[in-house]
Amino acid sequence: MARPRRIQSVFLNIPYDEQFENLYLAYIVGVTQLGLAVKATLGVPNQGRLDTIIGLIEKSDFSIHDLSRIELSAGIPRFNMPVELGLALYRSHATNGKHRVFVFESKIYRTQRSTSDINGIDPQIHRGNPKGVMTGLRNILRQSGDVTTVPEMLASYRAVKKRLPEFKRNAGSQSLFEASVFADLTVAALVESQKLIEKRSGA
């Protein structure tokens, strides 16, 4: 039996809440359609969570950290994303930069004020919309072969979004942030990818 091909992977560090649903879907569709496997903390039980996060970062080729939602939540600042960014930065240091770290934000210059220690990293500004996420992903990632465009990714995003009720229903959940829905969305993005590749090759 042929050995499975290695698929490069990214540790995706994003907030999991209802207001972030569109961007969450944009990240999954965009990253997957560029040819990467997403490693995320979804479905990781709270016990031993930190060890799991460290393990996911170690197993990933690079990481993406979205710092657009670090504001107060019910009066308490959200520190999880910066903590995970710190872990990834240390991983990058320990591997002599082999593990790459990319930062996304919704507002220009905010990271320079909120997290000035990372001023050497230029954040990708997505302005809180899916197109911005995909543009940022295309800026930081280069496909060596077939190249997926932002309009193609956006069309796939819309196609997958249309099917969300069915994916949620199959998972028995109202939320997108379930391990089961995450897996289905990843596969769905690749079904759309195949359609794009076939269309491009005129099949």
Partner 1 sequence: MGMNAYVISNPVPSPEEMGRLLGLSPERVARVRSIMNAPSSRKTSKRSGSKYSAVAAKKATSRAKLRASGKR
Q: If you ran DSSP here, which 8-state letter would residue 44 be given?
A: -
How far apart CA 65 and CA 14 sit, in angstroms, is: 6
How far apart CA 38 and CA 66 sit, in angstroms, is: 14
Give 127's contacts (C-beta < 8 A, 6+ positions apart): 106, 107
Q: H or E element: which one contains 188?
A: helix 179-200
Q: Are 39 and 54 in contact (CB under 8 A)?
A: no
Smallest distance, partner 1 to C-beta of residue 76, A: 28
Instruction: Answer yes or no whether residue 122 interacts with partner 1 by CB under 8 A.
Output: yes
By beta-carbon proximity to partner 1, the closer residue of 49 and 163 is 163
Candidate segments 17-25, 51-59, 67-75, 120-128, binder of partner 1 by CB under 8 A: 120-128
> Does residue 71 sit in helix, strand or coil?
coil
Q: Please, which of residues 12-51 interact with partner 1 by CB under 8 A?
A: 32-37
By beta-carbon proximity to partner 1, the closer residue of 133 and 188 is 188
Candidate segments 11-19, 50-58, 68-76, 95-103, binder of partner 1 by CB under 8 A: 95-103
Contact residues for partner 1 (CB under 8 A)?
4-8, 32-37, 61-62, 92, 97, 100-103, 120-123, 139-146, 148, 159-160, 162-163, 166-167, 170, 183-184, 186-188, 190-194, 197
